[in-house]
Structure formats: C-alpha cells, structure tokens
Structure 1
Amino acid sequence: MNKQTSAAGRDGYPATLYAATVSEAPARPALEGHQQFDICVVGAGYTGISAALHLAEQGFRVAVLESRRVGFGASGRNGGQIVNSYSRDMDHIAARYGEDSARALGSMAFEGNRIIRERLERYAIRCDLRQGNLFAACNRQQFAAMAEQKTLWERFGHRELTLLGESDYRREVGSARYVGALLDHSGGHLHPLKLVLGQAAALETLGGVIFENSPMTRLEQGERVVVHTEGGAIEAERAVIAGNAYLGRVVPALAARAMPCATQIIATEVLDDATARRLLPTDRAVEDGNYLLDYYRLCAERRLIYGGGVNYGGRDPASIERAIRPKMLTTFPELEKVRIDYAWSGRFLATLNRLPQFGRLNHNVYYAQGYSGHGVTASHLAGRLIAEVVRGEGERFDAFAAIPHRHFPGGQRFSVPISALGAWYYALRDRLGV
C-alpha cells in the first residue's frame, strides 16, 4: 500500500486510516430551501451527534447541519482513545474555581466513558472497542503525579485503577522508555469514525435528519432561531452550536474564546503478530505523562497508530511523518524499518484554562466546545447535558457554564506565538524531567 496523507481522501474524507477502513459512510444531501424543526444542531461530530441523539430520544424533531461529512473533523481523525476526566483535573478546578465547582464537575468526569458504552450496546455499534488505557510515566516526577491522580480519582468514586511499577508496566508496554504507569481498566480505544457514523445512523432511525456539505453562513437569533446556509435555512425553537475547531469565525463570540490547534498521527504498515504482541501485549491504549504528550495504540488490523505534538493555530508541519516518526522510534526503536502507510493531521480547539466551554449565546442557543485534547469522552457528556438543559434541567450544564473563560491574551494575532512559547517552556521541562 502506498503511503497516504491527509491531502486527498475517500468520499469527501481526508485520507486517514479510519476513512479507509469504514465499510459504509452514506452521503447525506445538502440543505435546500427553508425548513422547520424543533432543534437545529450545527456540527456532526461527537458533540453535535451526541446532543442530537439524546434530543431525538426525548422526542424532539432534530436537524443537524454539517459543513463537510459526518465525522470529518476531530471526531473522525483522533487517536481513538477513551480517556476519562478533562484536560485539567479536579484538583486544578478546586484550586482555581472552588470546591463546589470541583465536586460538580468531578461527579461527571467519568460519565462520558459510560455514555459511549451505552451507545454501543443500545444501538449495536461495532467500532473495534478494546478495553483499558495506560498513562505512562517518563520519569519519577510523572510517576508520583500518577499516584496522586489515582488518589484524586478514587476520591471522586473512580476505583478501576491500578498503579504499575517498573517491572509491572513492562507486561503492558514493550518499551524501556518509562518508569511506571497508571492503568485505567475502564478506559479503552476504538475506531473513532465508526463510532460517530454509528451514532449518526442511530439518530436517523429516530427521525433525525442530517444535512452534509451545508456550512452555517449566518446565525439569526430571536424568539426563534434561523440558521442559514448557502442553500437554505433551518428555522427552529432552539439551536446547538457544536462546530468546535471547524466552526471558523461565523460566530465571533465563540471564535474569540478558543484557539484551533493541530495534532498529527501516523499509522504503520500491518505488523506481524509477534511484533504487535511485543509492542503492546495486552492491546491497551497508551499516552505518556508529558505536557506535549505522545499517544499510541494498535488498531484492529495490527497497525501501530502513533500521534503526538501540537501545532498552535492549526497549521500542519511540512511533513507529518518526519514530525512523528522520531517520536515513535524513541518509544519503539525496533520499528526503524517499518513502513508508514498513513499520515494525517486534525484540529482540536484549546481554551486558555484547558476546560470545556459550555454555555448559552442567548435563551435558546447553546454551545459546547474547547475540549483541549480530551474530547472523546467530554463531548459525549456535553451531548447529554445539552439535552438536559433543553428539557429544563440545567443544573449540570450550568456547573460548566459557571466556569469563567477568558480570551487568549493578545487576541487572534498574538495568541499563537504566545501559546507556542508556553508550549516550548513545558516541552523543555518534559525533556529535563522536571
């Protein structure tokens, strides 16, 4: 197989391993004319499809507008790892925003994981689910932090954790790079594009309608909401904005609060059984404890999927393989002669405080965005909370909405270099092991 990049894809998708290994991604029509629904959701990634599916289960007539294809953005390109909690944990939330906020968000920190599994079972979605994920410590300071994380998560009721010392973790990861790891038995990994496509299909069985290739061009707010596209408009009682890093600047108030970032992933050729078992004997997903972390796993085909790094502003490096392959070889030097068959990039949305942004633009327009690299589970939680607030049960949604979010310093012009400078500082700390 020739090496693939994200420059060209299949059926309107970027050329990722995931797009190449879905059996069916049915095309949906673009929006035409003026149509009416109870709720209009903008964005057919995890947040939008999760919200739409929860709302359709409650009996609402839901339409979803997607600028490209279902799962075109981060939801169909990410590392496929089911990781609990948020990009900032409950101790940080307590220190910055108080114990009440920490308790409220902590009570929901492990719920997104359970929602995913509920969806898979209820709608018989097949997405190559594997159990368990590891947080691997590159030095003693990181290992001590993981022991503290275990204690913290157990305080919030999550007890499916095992701390692994240097000899124990080697039964999980065939790399001498680490000094230990924290195993979360409730985590896991899956095929991310199959997950979102499966939920989209489930939504349609409940009467939900998805319009692809229909980017929002204008949002008209009032007693009723009108979401405009080039081909038509949807009038609804309420709207949900769930475009994340692919929303652009069509809603300026949201664009100013977060910054698109890019991360890169490569996938190797199919590995033989012995090599795959040597790298990851128990088939767990792994991420390390660095600020600019590496993450990897085996897919169902026995390819190693390896990702890492962040490009602030959402721009790609000149060569994704040259950027990521050295990271892979640091972890698994025996793969030096292994061919890379796929290399792609995807954008996620980072917030200044690294916590998700949930809120309202007015009384009938809700938004959820900015998972800062922790979006697989948190986006599914967002969908449930949006459905709750729509039906008049807003307490849990409002616990997130109460977290203050500042704009990036320097505005759009200076946020990228300032963030890159901060990332350089933390990357230096990673290298020095402090």
Structure 2
Amino acid sequence: MSDRKGPTPTWYQASAPQRTAAPPLYGRRQVDVCILGGGFTGLSCALSLAEAGLRVAVIEAEQIGAGASGRNGGQLIFGYSCEQHKLVDLLGKADARRVFQWSLEGVQLVHQRCADYAIDCHWRPGHAHVPIRPRQVDELKRWQDSLHHDYDYPLEWWSAERLQSVLASRRYRGALFDPRSGHLHPLRLLQGMTEAAIKLGVEVYECSRVTRVERAPRLRFHTIAGEIEAEFGVLAGNALVRGIAAELDARIMPVASYIAVSEPLGEGPARRLIGNDMAVADINWAVDYFRLTHDHRLFFGGRASYSTLPPPSLRGTMQARVRKVFPQLQDLRFDHVWGGLIDISLNRAPHWGRLQPNLYFAQGFSGHGLNTANLAGKVIAEAIRGQADRLDVFERIRHLPFPGGRLLRTPLLVAAMSWYKLRDALW
C-alpha cells in the first residue's frame, strides 16, 4: 500500500534497520532486463534473473518499500485473492489445481530466499480465517472440504471454544486454521531482497520515476534524468503506475486500505490477546485482520475505501473496529496509523502476461501479494529465460476492464462494494 500524495510513515519504517538509499538514474545504461518497480514482483524477478547470470536493472519511482510491498499487512498465506472455484471457471480443474500448487510455491519461495540470503523478517507461523455470521461458518467448512479433497491441502477446523483458548475475543464462531501460513515484517524482507540483489550485481535506482517506455526491438525506459536500454522489460508498478501502458490501466483499480499499530503492550498482555502468535482475518468483504508484532504491539488492518478517500477520523475509525474484536481494549492508543493503495482486478484474479514478446507485466494482486508477487517475479523470470509454460497458464485468465470508463468506474465500484458491506452487516 502506498499513498500517491506521499507515503505516510509506518511502524515498519520505525522498526526496520536504516539502509543507504540507492542512487537515482543518471545518464544512459544498457542491461539485459530492465524492471519498473522495486517491490516484491520486481525484486523477485531481479533475483531470479541475476542468479542465472543476466544483467538486470530495477528502477523505483520512490524508495524501496514505499509501495504496497513495504507497507502491507504482512500475512503470508496460500492461494490468491479470488476464490479457487473462480480459477476453475477461468482455467478448468487441471490448471486451477496447478495454479493453486504454485501459490504454495510462492510461500516456500519467501522462506527459501530468507534462508539463502540470511534475511530476518520476524516470521511467525499460523493463520486463522474466522467467521462472524453463521453462513460464514458453512462457507469456511465447504472451503476446508474443497481444499482437502480437491487440492490435497488440509486445514484444521477449530470450534469457538478452542479458538477462545488462544484468542481473547468472543466475536467469532470458530476458525479455519493453517499452521503453514503466517505473518512477517514485509519491509525487512524487501530490504533483505534488495541487498541480496545488489550483491548479485543488480543495478538498483531509487527516486527515478519512469516517464515513458519506448516499445521497440530494444526497449528504452526513460526517466527525467536518464535512460535504460534493454532486450527485455518488466512492468511491476501495480497501483501506482499510470500512463505507461494504457491497456493495463483499465484492468486494475486502486483501493485504499488502512493499518494501525498500537503502543507497546508488553509481552504478557500481548500474549493474553493472541496466545499462539498467529495472524487472524475475518471473511467479510471488507476484511479486518490482526496479529501481534515482534515488539508486542497489536497490529490491526482493514477499513478498505473503494473511493480511495480516507474516513474523516481514521484513527477513531480504527479504534472502533479494534473494540469490536477486543472490547477490553477501550483505552488502546495507536502509535502508528497509515493508509495506502492496493491494486485490484475486476475478478480479483492475478493479471500477469506480456504486452509484446519482450515486455512483461504483473498486477492485480488484489490485497494478496506476499506469496503471489514473489511467485510472479519468478514466473516472469522463467519466461524471459525461455520457459514460459507457467506464464502461459496465467495469461489465459481473462481480464475485463472495469465498467464505466475513467469517469464512472470508481462510483460504480463504490456502489457495488456498498452492497457487499451491507450484506456482511445484516446477514
């Protein structure tokens, strides 16, 4: 998540090591592959290509971590933002199963990179999807059955009583628990990947916004002060890139999401809230999610805004949402509150592919990017090296533009999302 008016300081920035910024791009450079965007997609792609010996440059408009990759909820979870049955409709059962297995590879890829490059990103295992309404209990149990029988991915169903033995909240009717998913510090992960890429010879340029890309047999990425020529290019800017590729702009929408991190609670009080240190997310359309941090704070996210306009009192809104989950935290104070933009596709499925044979893109992570963005970078790197089988599958997912054109698509989306929020509130 990132704010187009300038990133709001985050707890991640306050709790991550300070790093020396990479220089801006000046003058002309030539590489094998030029990547627009220094988030998880871009850096994962850069690492995969550099490990194979290619010359790679990454151009970041702001600082590494200013976008969604350095500001998100930090939950590393299997799957994609869209439901698996939608992928069956789009791809058929066989390829939907393959795509699901690749999502698990995305989780493992993060762990492998942390091991290979000694990245400490405060990984904590355990994630619970929790229902509020009776219909959501049925929905989660059907999902559990499908994941077990159709995808060989068993999850644990917890009763409300078992959940309450580790979670100090009576809001939920049970939990679908996954011990293999969990949470981490995304900015520390991103910084570690950046350092690893630079050590492998990747040229990283910060504060270098790309103004245009010349599409030709040899691509040219232009900034105000420089230019990079490359045989291959990757567009990985997601919600913050506009005007570089109009055919991509129409197929994603920016949505604002918000996070609040409390004052330090102390280890004992924090553990009394979430005894097993898992991450938790409800399954409302406008999801709330929460966890503890390594320094014993409550981390709470949610309150999506499809108009991208923040609520009049964001801090008060987040405090009210926390009190619905933890009524005992009436006097909780937040040290950090921030918001930013995520990119969503119309069907919430990942949108990855090619604009021409040597120009690749990945977008549409729809708020589920920690595993999928890392996977996207690897899949695109494979395609650049001549192994495009996996990218070909993702490219078969049909993506329509948002209805309403430039002027009406945001009001139409706001109206549609209001219905889903009303349904969650009443049924």
Same fold (TM over 0.5): yes
Aligned match of 2:305 in 305, 311, 320?
311
Instruction: Report deviation, 1:307.
Output: 0.8
Structure-to-structure mapping, 1:125-204, within 5 angstroms: 125-159=119-153, 161-204=155-198
SS at match of 2:102: coil
**2:270–2:292: 8 Å Cα contact kept in structure 1?**
yes
- The separation in 1 between residues aligned to 2:94 and 2:151, in whole angstroms, is 16
The answer to whether the aligner puts 1:270 opposite 2:264 as a matched pair is: yes
Count of paired positions: 426
SS at match of 2:24: coil
Aligned match of 1:402 in 390, 396, 399?
396
Instruction: Report deviation, 1:312.
Output: 1.8
Q: Which amino acid aligns with 2:412?
A: I
SS at match of 1:217: strand
- The percentage of aligned residue pairs carrying the same residue is 39
The answer to whether the aligner puts 1:210 opposite 2:204 as a matched pair is: yes
After TM superposition, the structure 1 stretch with the greater mean CA deviation from structure 2, 270-279 or 207-216, is 270-279
Which residue of 2 is the match for residue 66 of structure 1? 60
Unmatched 5+ residue regions in structure 2?
Answer: none
- The separation in 1 between residues aligned to 2:309 and 2:388, in whole angstroms, is 37
The answer to whether the aligner puts 1:286 opposite 2:286 as a matched pair is: no
Which residue of 1 is the match for residue 339 of structure 2? 345
Unmatched 5+ residue regions in structure 1?
Answer: 1-5
SS at match of 1:107: helix
Instruction: Report deviation, 1:160.
Output: 5.1
Which residue of 1 is the match for residue 325 of structure 2? 331
RMSD: 1.7
Instruction: Report deviation, 1:24.
Output: 2.0
TM superposition score normalised by structure 1: 0.95
Q: Which amino acid aligns with 1:320?
A: L
- The separation in 1 between residues aligned to 2:325 and 2:42, in whole angstroms, is 36
**2:266–2:297: 8 Å Cα contact kept in structure 1?**
no
Instruction: Report deviation, 1:387.
Output: 1.0
- The separation in 2 between residues aligned to 1:172 and 1:249, in whole angstroms, is 48
- The separation in 2 between residues aligned to 1:102 and 1:157, in whole angstroms, is 9
TM superposition score normalised by structure 2: 0.96
Aligned match of 2:226 in 232, 240, 262?
232
Structure-to-structure mapping, 1:369-408, within 5 angstroms: 369-408=363-402
The C-alpha deviation readout for 1:15-62, integer Å capped at 9, x for no partner, is 100011111222110000010000000000111111111111111111
Which residue of 2 is the match for residue 115 of structure 1? 109
Which residue of 1 is the match for residue 289 of structure 2? 295
Question: Aligned in 2, Cα 1:187/1:212: closer, same or farther, shift over 3 Å?
Answer: same
**2:319–2:332: 8 Å Cα contact kept in structure 1?**
no
- The separation in 2 between residues aligned to 1:323 and 1:56, in whole angstroms, is 45
**1:320–1:345: 8 Å Cα contact kept in structure 2?**
no
SS at match of 2:257: strand
The C-alpha deviation readout for 1:269-302, integer Å capped at 9, x for no partner, is 0002332112101000010011111001111111
**1:297–1:304: 8 Å Cα contact kept in structure 2?**
yes
Q: Which amino acid aligns with 1:266?
A: A
SS at match of 1:398: helix
Which residue of 2 is the match for residue 241 of structure 1? 235
